[in-house]
A and B are shown apart, each in its own frame.
Chain A
Amino acid sequence: MASTTPDRSHTRGYVIAGVLTALMVVGTLLLLRNITDVAGHPLNTLRPLGDQARKIDDLVVPVFAVAGIVFVLVEGGVIFLIARFRRRSDDADGEGDPVQIHGNSSLEWAWTAVPALILAVIAAFNVAAIWDLEGDAQNAEMNVEVVGQQWWWEFRYDTNEDGKPDVITANQLVIPADTTVGVNIRSNDVIHSFWIPTLNGKRDAVPGRVHKIALHADKPGIYEGQCTEYCGLSHGYMRMQVKALTKADYEKWLDNQLDGPVEPKADTPAAEGKAIFNTKCASCHQIDGYDTSGAPTASGEPDPEYGGADHPLVSGNAPNLTHLMSRDHFAGGMFPLYDSYDEGAARTSAMPSGDPSQGELGDWLRDPPGKKPMASDRARGMPNLNLSEDEIDKLVAYLTTLK
């Protein structure tokens, strides 16, 4: 103890320091409550709803606790040191100058070794978790291909395992609940990152590579996601969802997807819409049964991986719309397809039904780049096709039939 004048005036400092430290602790705890508050935070990373996210959560929460203790000790320490050792205005110069301590090696070795030991323990759990999660991905019960592109996600299912996708959807990945699903993540242009925080951590979609992670949703439900590697202009509006269904519902969903598209009745606006679709939309968007082989890539060359006569189901540069209305959102998970859902056919059922959101689709067709930033001049995203209001109405009529 250096000061030679331990006197009354420390008391005030101590009180202030104690109050400050207590405020800090209380504040931190309140904030923690706010963090883990689940309602209204669909992307919350601290609300695991699947096995993998739970493993991560179990690893990190104790580390947060250790970090919290260190935080309070250091910050409280700083405040107390200031309260205890500050020079007050009535102190004379040179009075009570401290003993000149140059160090204490055993103490310093101790505070080198103790954190190192704590970290070594954490590291052991860390390494175990890394390999555990890796094992989950390798032992998946079924697999889905996930392909990122500017600025939406495509999902390909190969149900008969012939190496060619049989079902192609976009923006909403449908999986059976309580099943470990392996997700093979690929990219068609730049790097994206596939991230459903409530189910698992993120993994980048890197062109030329396939990365695999596991998803295992505890219960049926909708789990929100966001592309989380910066991927250019509309990165902020590149979202996706996972919809987990009961196994029975999943089979129902799959059967519907394997069916061909709904054919509109003749002489309805929808039938006229289909004709407009064939002339104006089908060069990029696919509805099963139309072959637009060799759809161009950004470089103008046909992409052998993507589209082409061998893969009649694979979309071109834009989402496959065969069963558009079986999804929840469109345009990179941004805009709702339904204004409201029918009773009993909620969002999490195999086939949502309800009041289609005509306005959103119509707005979109009127000026896509105005609704979501896109670089359509470089074949990245949908251009404004300058459709007439009549065409828009008929197209919407057609599209909303595509259950």
Chain B
Amino acid sequence: MALIEARTPAELSPPPQQTKQLGIFARPVETTGWKSWLFTVDHKKVGILYGVASMFFFVVGGSEALLIRTQLARPGGKLLSAALYNQVFTMHGITLVFLVVMPMMAALANFLLPLQIGARDVAFPRLNAFSFWCYLFGGLFLNSAWFLGGGADGGWFNYAPNSSVTFSPGHGIDFYALGLLIAGIASTVSAVNLIITVINMRAPGMTWMRLPVFTWMTLVTQFLLVFSLPVITVALFLLMFDRLFGSNFFNASLGGDPLLWQHLFWIFGHPEVYIMILPAFGITSELIPTFSRKPIFGYPFMVASGIAIGFMGFGVWAHHMFASGMGPVAVTAFSVSTMFIAVPTGVKILNWLATVYGGRLRMTTSMCFALGLVSMFTIGGLSGVTHALAPADTQQTDTYYIVAHFHYVLFGGSIFGVLGGYYFWWPKFFGHMLDEKIGKWHFWLTLIGMNLTFGPMHMLGLQGMSRRIFSYSDGQGFDLWNLVATIGAFTIAVSLLVFFYNCWVSYRRHKANPQDPGPDPWDARSLEWSVPSPVPEHNFDEIPQIEEFDDFWHRKYGHDENGRPVKIADAADVAQKGDATGVHLPSPSYWPIVLAAGLPFIAYGLIFNLVWAAIGALLVIVSIWGWVIEPSTAPHAEHPGEQQHEPEPEGDGGETATTAGELEEATVD
């Protein structure tokens, strides 16, 4: 869609006034205020929206975690009933996986990918906005179940047949299935969008082996999404048909097979694990070189191991089912394949350490989180190896040992990565830095809190405490470590409050006494640091020509005969000014949010009353119609900067960096 202006030869264009026939609504034009956020198609605003929404759901899911931990603090906890506890742990898992960690990664991917590859936006800006609203409305839909009869109570994995109407007669599981379908649409669309962006919209000279590692890891993640989401889509449809239409796909007494659900779920579910961790690996691979003042050690290995993890991630799903009774042949195959996925992961850890080795470490909050990730993820990875052994896994699976394992991976990995990334890229998002002193408090509280919470769970699991039990008894020996874990959970909650406080204080300080962090406050390496902070709406005044990996660094530094960097230019001199005018940008649109809003209505309709579905379908049809006849860029919409500029086609054209011909020459493929 965004290609229209260029593709349409002039002689074919209908008369200009035709584009004004866009229906009864005038197109949104706001660039500030709440409307500019609702109707934005700017990848940076969409990214920030993802970040804010995921933080909101982090608070929701985190509160659920506190309820769980309070219930389990002592034996025979009475805070929650068994029914409520089951809903709370189910919604905690769903929220954190689908509504927090994935969109946190989406936030950074949306914001950074175009900047890192030297593009002005993603390939399909309106679809990008649609993905976000779809995710947000899907998440609100899922959580609205709390007020409409109770949340899903089958666990995030939702094994059949416990998810059937017989065993879960409420609407919680319907909300689960439909909510995840909506979230799945969001992720699929977003993944296609980001993949096309990286494949097709790299700046001239930005060859595959010059892409930043974060871009690479995010790209692998998007491929995992594109190929794993359809599988859970099938599973969710079968579940819906079982519940709504009375089919028996998972009903063993009428010929169905409950293990089919498990296979379909984990064919998605295991790549999902890498979907959540690979972008964090990417973030760490940006932070560690910057703050060690060394290039990433073994770039080709880092990229290749990421791709290898992506491929192998599709071949290990049944290790979640070692106790399910698949038979020894399948168990052997998946057990061995699982063990070897540790190899590329180990390569990453060692390459990070090799990057640090000999460097000159600036222990900023970002770097603390990055090295925290290396340390904490290692623990999660090692416990992972112990349950790759299928016989050992039959002792460990579904115990708190597994809970400890994946929280070390997801909290110590994904969340640490994202928090480090937030401290790092905050000036790019908002034009000011986060306070480093409070940041250190935040880091240490998070590190101590997570180890207090999840460390004891190793002990609990090995001592035999099962997952998903709403209570335990005196005399089972679980008292001490549960209490410690609960204290840890509240420490994490405090650390999150410290982070919010930091955001607020830093913002206030910036308001009172604005200080421009400059384009490159960290002396960093990749392309996003070559534009002002915050990033101007059009990203790049001119699309840069890329000469090598870490191009921006090499514009600032040469090196002496020993290979040590020698400053050749100030960042401010080689960075762009962000003052270009007349840049053609995609215009805001109503339709992404309207189209996304239609989907929950359809879902409510399927659960409660088809009238709602009719309203939703109407919204969807109207918005598709509006979308189709609306060009992606309003005619003569120029760079909507602070001032209105008259477009100056001739003058601007001269300044542009590339002609199409150059661009074609410069690309490798």
Which residues of A are at the interface with B, using a C-beta cutoff of 8 A?
1-3, 31, 34-35, 40-46, 53, 55-56, 59-60, 63-64, 67, 70-71, 74-75, 77-78, 81-82, 85-87, 91, 94, 96-105, 107-108, 111-112, 115-116, 119, 122-123, 126-127, 129-131, 133-134, 150, 185, 189-191, 193, 195, 197, 200-204, 206-209, 211, 224, 226-237, 298-299, 373, 378, 380
Do the beta carbons of B470 and A236 come within 8 Å of each other? Answer: yes
Instruction: Kindly state whether residue B625 has any CB partner on chain A within 8 Å.
Output: no
Do the beta carbons of B339 and A206 come within 8 Å of each other? Answer: no
Do the beta carbons of A103 and B253 come within 8 Å of each other? Answer: no
CA gap between A104 and B350 in the complex, in Å: 12
Instruction: Kindly state whether residue B379 has any CB partner on chain A within 8 Å.
Output: yes
Within the complex, which residue of A59, A94, A190, A373 is in contact with B392, where a contact is CB–CB below 8 Å?
A: A59
Do the beta carbons of B360 and A126 come within 8 Å of each other? Answer: no
Instruction: Kindly state whether residue B169 has any CB partner on chain A within 8 Å.
Output: yes
Residues of B within 8 A of A235 (CB): 86, 468-470
Residues of B within 8 A of A78 (CB): 353, 356, 371, 374-375
Ranked nearest first, the 5 interchain pairs of A and B with the lowest CB-CB distance are: A43-B464, A201-B394, A208-B252, A236-B469, A2-B358
Do the beta carbons of A1 and B358 come within 8 Å of each other? Answer: yes
Do the beta carbons of B477 and A40 come within 8 Å of each other? Answer: yes
Tally of A-B Cβ pairs under 8 angstroms = 313
Residues of B within 8 A of A116 (CB): 340, 343
| A56 and B394 in contact, given A41-B463, A122-B389, A235-B468 (Cβ under 8 angstroms) | yes
| A208 and B258 in contact, given A40-B475, A81-B356 (Cβ under 8 angstroms) | yes
CA gap between A332 and B145 in the complex, in Å: 31
Indicate the member of B256, B332, B360, B471 with the most A CB atoms within 10 Å: B360
Instruction: Kindly state whether residue B149 has any CB partner on chain A within 8 Å.
Output: no
Q: How far is the CB of B281 from chain A (nearest CB, A)?
A: 15
Within the complex, which residue of B159, B359, B465 is in contact with A85, where a contact is CB–CB below 8 Å?
A: B359
Do the beta carbons of A100 and B295 come within 8 Å of each other? Answer: yes
CA gap between A94 and B362 in the complex, in Å: 12
Do the beta carbons of B358 and A201 come within 8 Å of each other? Answer: no
B342-368 interface code vs A (CB 8 A; 1 in, 0 out): 111011011101101111111100000
Do the beta carbons of B353 and A103 come within 8 Å of each other? Answer: no
Instruction: Kindly state whether residue B259 has any CB partner on chain A within 8 Å.
Output: yes
Do the beta carbons of A45 and B252 come within 8 Å of each other? Answer: no
Within the complex, which residue of B81, B85, B339, B562 is in contact with A126, where a contact is CB–CB below 8 Å?
A: B339
Residues of A within 8 A of B294 (CB): 98-101
Do the beta carbons of B328 and A104 come within 8 Å of each other? Answer: no
Among residues of A, the one whose C-beta sits closest to the C-beta of B294 is A98
Do the beta carbons of B356 and A85 come within 8 Å of each other? Answer: yes
Q: How far is the CB of A201 from chain B (nearest CB, A)?
A: 3
Instruction: Kindly state whether residue B395 has any CB partner on chain A within 8 Å.
Output: yes
Q: How far is the CB of B358 from chain A (nearest CB, A)?
A: 4
| A112 and B343 in contact, given A208-B253, A211-B325, A230-B467 (Cβ under 8 angstroms) | yes
Within the complex, which residue of B162, B471, B559 is in contact with A230, where a contact is CB–CB below 8 Å?
A: B162
Known A-B contacts: A45-B463, A127-B335. Give 19 more (CB < 8 A).
A44-B477, A60-B392, A71-B379, A82-B363, A85-B359, A86-B362, A87-B363, A98-B358, A98-B359, A103-B354, A116-B343, A119-B339, A123-B336, A126-B336, A126-B390, A129-B391, A130-B391, A202-B398, A230-B86
| A232 and B162 in contact, given A112-B347, A134-B328, A207-B252 (Cβ under 8 angstroms) | yes
Q: How far is the CB of B563 from chain A (nearest CB, A)?
A: 4
CA gap between A43 and B258 in the complex, in Å: 28
| A191 and B258 in contact, given A43-B464, A197-B395, A207-B253 (Cβ under 8 angstroms) | yes
